[in-house]
Amino acid sequence: MAPGRAVWLVARRELRSRLRAKSFLIGTAVSIAILIAFVMMQSTLFADNSPIRIGLSGQATAIAGPLTAQADAGDLDISTTTVPDVAAGETLVADDDLDILVSGAPAELRVLVRESLDDDLRKVLDGLVQEQVLRAQLASVEELRSDEVLATVANASIDLRALSVPDPLHDQRLALALVIVALLYMALLLYGTMVAQGVVEEKSSRVVEILLATVRPWQLLLGKVIGLGLVGLAQFVVVGTVGLALAVSTDVLTIAGQATSTLLWGVLWYLLGYLFYATVFAAAGSLVSRQEETHSVLLPITMVLVLAFVLGFGLLTRSPSGTATTVLSLLPPFAPILMPGRIALGVAPGWQIALAVVLTAVSVAGLAWLGGRIYAGAVLRTGARLSVRQALRG
């Protein structure tokens, strides 16, 4: 039998059995229901409860105590840190490692933000400036004219500068980013686990021995990965399309073009991410002979996916352009989750996207070779759990 035909026959077998299964229909319906709930509740999901990170440079470090006290009195959650110089502080703000840089003398504070400054925090900073100006007036004038002093104090305020113009569509972009991250996480985890469970099921029931009488191990592995991958792709597209149509029709999203682009990028990263993880899941599944042992052998792989998901939500919400987010979004284990989120937010330049795609594709090729060797050496061996070394030797 021709290799291509053998692979297609295995893939078609997986497609027919999975698409007709009730679990596929129920899983798709549940995913759509969760996405609908997410869309409907999106206005309350993006409240940022993390503290406002303020860097103080030079003479401005003197206001650390009063600033914290007045922020606490106004129920503002802030954290302050000392920055060695203004240039370093500007870099931290540009990289989203700081929200605000405050420099200059207490009576002439200069405030740098990336886009905008919280209104309540601005009132606090203006109040500190006015207090310092009032003290200076009281110390320098012997005969005070109250109207002049009050006018001088009232006109005192911070010197505010922003690195960029605020994005009025930021919340919608963030909604797209978090939705695509959640969809990719669920798809990669679900269908990667299915690959492993399918391998263990065939191995424990001895079906694999019958199959390998007509096809080679790499053909069986590739056909299984392709078949389940196409099932996952179908579910991903259906759920994503329904969610997109719902969000646009209810005016939750007004950027239909970018939402469509995000979904298309999601399809690409699903394919790359699935190929990256599926071979690893299959190889891990081939090391055991009982379904009861599957969880333990898959735990390290699922933990990487869970970590990518948790980091994706945290970093994309708080610091999508930060150094940590950028570096992690380029690394193959995290790129399929983080990079599409950064693309949705519009903070990933083309060279970073291209580099992440190339690194992931190269990793897929390497893992396919290694996973294929492990699978071929372990899939016919039953009994106790095998180690990777034993599988490679087999």
**CATH code: domain of residue 112:** 3.40.190
Phi, psi torsion values for 255, nearest 5 degrees: -115, 65
Domain final residue, candidates 162, 197, 217? 162
Domain final residue, candidates 102, 137, 162? 162
Q: How far is CA 379 from CA 145, 180, 297, in A?
A: 92, 35, 15
Instruction: For residues 280 and 275, give the distance between their C-alpha atoms in angstroms, rounded to a whole number.
Output: 9
Global pTM reads: 0.69
- Both 343 and 201 in one domain: the answer is yes
Instruction: For residues 325 and 313, give the distance between their C-alpha atoms in angstroms, rounded to a whole number.
Output: 11
Instruction: For residues 246 and 36, give the distance between their C-alpha atoms in angstroms, rounded to a whole number.
Output: 8
Q: If DSSP codes are grouped into helix, strand and coil, which group holds residue 53? A: strand
- Both 242 and 289 in one domain: the answer is yes
Question: Kind of pairing, strands 159-162 and 52-57?
Answer: unpaired
- Both 13 and 140 in one domain: the answer is no
Q: What Rg do the C-alpha atoms of the chain give, in angstroms? A: 28
| Residue 192 and residue 352 in contact, taking contact as beta carbons nearer than 8 Å | no
- Structure confidence by residue, pLDDT tens digits, 166-200: 666 777 888 888 889 988 998 999 888 888 888 88
Instruction: For residues 346 and 307, give the distance between their C-alpha atoms in angstroms, rounded to a whole number.
Output: 23
Please give the pLDDT value at position 43.
43
Q: How far is CA 153 from CA 20, 128, 148, in A?
A: 75, 11, 9
**Could you tell me where the beta strands, DSSP code E, fall in the chain?**
52-57, 78-83, 100-103, 110-113, 159-162
Give yes or no for residue 15 having a pLDDT over 70: yes
- Both 130 and 199 in one domain: the answer is no
Please give the pLDDT value at position 361.
95
Q: Which two tokens stand for residue 282?
A: 């299959």
- Structure confidence by residue, pLDDT tens digits, 45-76: 444 567 889 999 988 888 888 888 888 888 88
- Structure confidence by residue, pLDDT tens digits, 109-164: 889 988 778 888 888 888 888 887 777 766 665 555 555 655 566 667 777 777 66
Select from 223, 232, 241 the least CA-distant residue to 274: 232
- Both 201 and 309 in one domain: the answer is yes
- Both 11 and 96 in one domain: the answer is no
| Residue 52 and residue 67 in contact, taking contact as beta carbons nearer than 8 Å | no
Q: How many domains does the chain have?
A: 2
Instruction: For residues 205 and 261, give the distance between their C-alpha atoms in angstroms, rounded to a whole number.
Output: 44
- Both 313 and 366 in one domain: the answer is yes
Please give the pLDDT value at position 350.
93
Query: Cβ atoms within 10 A of the Cβ of 155, count?
Result: 9
Phi, psi torsion values for 289, nearest 5 degrees: -115, -5
Place of tokens 């003398």: 105
- Both 324 and 202 in one domain: the answer is yes
Mean pLDDT within 306-329:
87
Bridge partners of residue 242, in order along the sequence: none
Please give the pLDDT value at position 337.
93
- Both 147 and 203 in one domain: the answer is no
Domain final residue, candidates 102, 127, 162? 162
Tell the burial category of 341 from Cβ atoms under 10 Å away from its Cβ (0-12, 13-18, 19+): buried
- Both 98 and 121 in one domain: the answer is yes
| Residue 246 and residue 36 in contact, taking contact as beta carbons nearer than 8 Å | yes
- For residue 80, the enclosing domain spans 52-162
Pick the more confident residue, 331 or 221: 331
- Both 252 and 190 in one domain: the answer is yes
Give yes or no for residue 39 having a pLDDT over 90: no
Q: How far is CA 25 from CA 5, 224, 268, 361, in A?
A: 28, 20, 23, 31
| Residue 275 and residue 225 in contact, taking contact as beta carbons nearer than 8 Å | yes
- Structure confidence by residue, pLDDT tens digits, 347-382: 899 999 999 999 999 999 999 888 888 888 877 777
Please give the pLDDT value at position 97.
85
Place of tokens 């310092």: 132
Instruction: For residues 363 and 187, give the distance between their C-alpha atoms in angstroms, rounded to a whole number.
Output: 20
Q: Which two tokens stand for residue 258?
A: 């970018």
- Both 30 and 108 in one domain: the answer is no
Select from 172, 182, 184, 173 the least CA-distant residue to 34: 182
Select from 387, 361, 364 the least CA-distant residue to 374: 387
Query: Cβ atoms within 10 A of the Cβ of 21, count?
Result: 12
